[in-house]
Structure 1
Amino acid sequence: MKTIQKMYEHLNWANQRILETLQSIEDKNQEVNRLFSHILLAEKIWITRLRGLDSSRLPIWSEVDIEVCAELVMQNKESLTTFLTNLSNTDLDKLITYTNSKGKEFKNSVQDILTHVALHGQYHRGQINSRLRSDGFEPVNIDFITFVR
């Protein structure tokens, strides 16, 4: 649980750093906003699934404006913090059954879902940084080691 807690502290920190950078850029890159929206919408979907609720109708690739992203960053942080606070080590092996956006049913453990969400966001934040650099902006340092320092 300590490792998972730390991963999510890092996830929240990294999302906040990306958000602040995107809020400060006047010249908006549509693909960057789409990727950041995707990260946040995917987090919301997985939170919904972890709660045992239907997520099949939630959008996953909808571009939302930066104000909505800011709200999602806050909501997801609160929801994930609450979920993790109430989670025990034995809960990590619990299987969650969910249906994806294509109507296919899957079962995964809480631990695997939590690991996926953390890695998924990091992957797309890397894509965001690559696009920022190609647009002439300094990439956001979201390295885990920077976070723990």
Structure 2
Amino acid sequence: MKTIHKMYEHLNWANQRILETLQNVEDENQQTKNLFAHILYAEQVWITRLEGADSSQLPIWLEGDIAVCARLIKQNEEKFKTLLSEITNTDLDHLKSYTNSKGLEFKSSIRDILTHVVLHGQYHRGQINSRLRIDGIEPINLDFITFVR
């Protein structure tokens, strides 16, 4: 659990750095904001699934709004902290059943879900950095090693 906690500290740090950058960019690219909102909405979906609730009707892709993103970051961080404080090492291999947005049912281990959320966000933050570079903006260093230093 120690590694998972550290990965979520990094996730929150990286989300905050993206938010701060997008708040300070004058010519914001809507596609960049949409990717960022997608990360945060997807986190919300997985939180809901980990809580055992139905996530099938939650949005995954909505137009990005920086004020909404700022609110989602805080909500998701608080909910993940609560969830992670309740999960033990022995819980990690328990399966969670859920239905995706297409109505398909799946079972995944808590470990795999938590890992997916971290990797999914990092993938899309990389896309955001690519779009920032195209727009002439210096990409944000979101490397895990930078975070732990």
* TM-score for both structures, normalised by structure 2: 0.99
CA distance, structure 1, for counterparts of residue 18 and residue 134 of structure 2: 16
* TM-score for both structures, normalised by structure 1: 0.99
SS at match of 1:54: coil
| 1:55-74 deviation digits (Å, cap 9, x = unpaired) | 00000011131000000000
SS at match of 2:107: strand
Q: Report 1:9-88 matches (<5 A).
A: 9-88=9-88
For 2:115, the aligned partner's letter is T
User: Deviation of residue 141 (structure 1)?
Assistant: 0.6
* Deviating 4+ runs (over 3 angstroms): none
For 2:37, the aligned partner's letter is S
Please tell me whether the aligned partners of residues 35 and 64 of structure 2 are also in contact (alpha carbons under 8 angstroms).
Answer: no
Q: Which residue matches 1:115?
A: 115
**Runs of 5+ consecutive residues of structure 2 not aligned to the other structure:** none
**Runs of 5+ consecutive residues of structure 1 not aligned to the other structure:** none
| 1:12-38 deviation digits (Å, cap 9, x = unpaired) | 000000000000011110110010000
| 1:92-137 deviation digits (Å, cap 9, x = unpaired) | 0110000000000000000000000000000000000000000000
Number of corresponding residues: 149
SS at match of 2:92: helix
For 2:44, the aligned partner's letter is K
Q: Which residue matches 2:143?
A: 143
SS at match of 1:98: strand
Aligned CA RMSD, in angstroms, stands at 0.5
| Percent of residue pairs bearing the same amino acid type | 72
Please tell me whether the aligned partners of residues 30 and 64 of structure 2 are also in contact (alpha carbons under 8 angstroms).
Answer: no
